[in-house]
Structure 1
Amino acid sequence: MGDLSLDPSVPAHAAALDRLETREIAWLGSTGRDGYPHSVPVWFVWHDGAAVVFSQPHAAKARNLRADPRASLVLETAAHGEEWVLLQGTVEFSPEPASAWLERFADVYLAKYGDGLAFLGWTPERITGDYSLVLLFHPQRIIA
């Protein structure tokens, strides 16, 4: 199955693109060692057709995705749950460091997460140091 190219003229795709560009939190799902789903909230940036997620290298999600790159990305819903987007796809591990990725979209990342970083007392350097592994989620199917 190839990567899904989201077409803004398709209503479900337009809704997905809006959420990918504006939502702060997505739930990244993988399959745990025990076979059960493992979902965690993540910060992400939509960049060149992929959701870019910084991860700690030894996190459970990284371990799970090394064993099985199939994943899901669920975007936040409206107040009553009537608007939701589920993307299914695969995760690729970038050979480039998180700092190189952050340089590509620092303005977008800081606009999206600057308040969160300030609240935590973190700097962009701390993020790219602690969360040095870059996961690239490539959607292949949309359910909305």
Structure 2
Amino acid sequence: MDTLTPTDLDFLRRPLHGFLTVAGGQPRPVWFEATADGTLQLFSEPDAPKVRRLRRNPRASLVVAAPVGERERWVSAEGTVSLEPDGAHDLAGRLAARYWDLGDPGRAAGLKEILAVDQLRLVLHPEKVRRYAY
């Protein structure tokens, strides 16, 4: 199946790290959001190495695995990434609230730093999806 299923989306809506791989780059842990339309989005500074690579070749993959202590499970999505100039700060705020305790002054300051600089919204449009659950 080459689309994210409702079961995949439920799994991907958990606060798990994804590992993003772009052409010519090493996998990097990232925050991400699975959307109702089956895309995956993340944010990045416009001059980040992954963004420069995506401008040359917009293909990428994201792999998300269950944490240690849970049964083995993973979802992998591969496809084209669009670089969107809008919505990155809103996305960063939602993801920070999902991954961090923003009641912690250090984390709140970290979010403030993220929001103080330009960000792009990266949208992965899955063309090939693989999964495993044991």
TM > 0.5 fold call: yes
User: With structure 1 as the length reference, what TM-score do the two structures score?
Assistant: 0.71
* Paired position in structure 1 for 2:81: 91
Distance 1:121 1:54, change over 3 A: same
* Paired position in structure 1 for 2:5: 7
Distance 1:131 1:77, change over 3 A: farther
**Which sections of structure 1, spanning at least 5 residues, go unmatched?**
9-13
- Report if aligned partners of 1:19, 1:75 keep a CA contact under 8 Å in 2: no
Q: Does 2:34 match 1:46? A: yes
| Count of residue pairs brought into register by the alignment | 127
**Correspondences of 1:32-111 after superposition (within 5 Å):** 32=24, 37-47=25-35, 48-79=37-68, 82-99=72-89, 101-102=90-91, 108-111=94-97
Q: How much identity, in percent, do the aligned residues show? A: 35
The whole-number CA distance in structure 1 between the counterparts of 2:50 and 2:9 is 24
Structure 1 stretches of 4+ with a deviation exceeding 6 A read none
1:43-85 deviation per Cα after TM superposition (whole angstroms, max 9, x unaligned): 1122242222110211111111111111100002342783111
Q: 2:18 aligns with which of 26, 41, 52?
A: 26
Q: Give the CA deviation at 1:39.
A: 1.1
Question: In structure 2, the residue corresponding to 1:134 is in which secondary structure?
Answer: strand
Q: 1:112 aligns with which of 79, 98, 101?
A: 98
Distance 1:116 1:87, change over 3 A: farther
Distance 1:125 1:55, change over 3 A: same
The whole-number CA distance in structure 1 between the counterparts of 2:72 and 2:5 is 22
1:79-126 deviation per Cα after TM superposition (whole angstroms, max 9, x unaligned): 278311111111100031523x43xx95x5354123279454535443
The structure that is helix-richer by fraction is 1
User: With structure 2 as the length reference, what TM-score do the two structures score?
Assistant: 0.76
The whole-number CA distance in structure 2 between the counterparts of 1:111 and 1:121 is 9
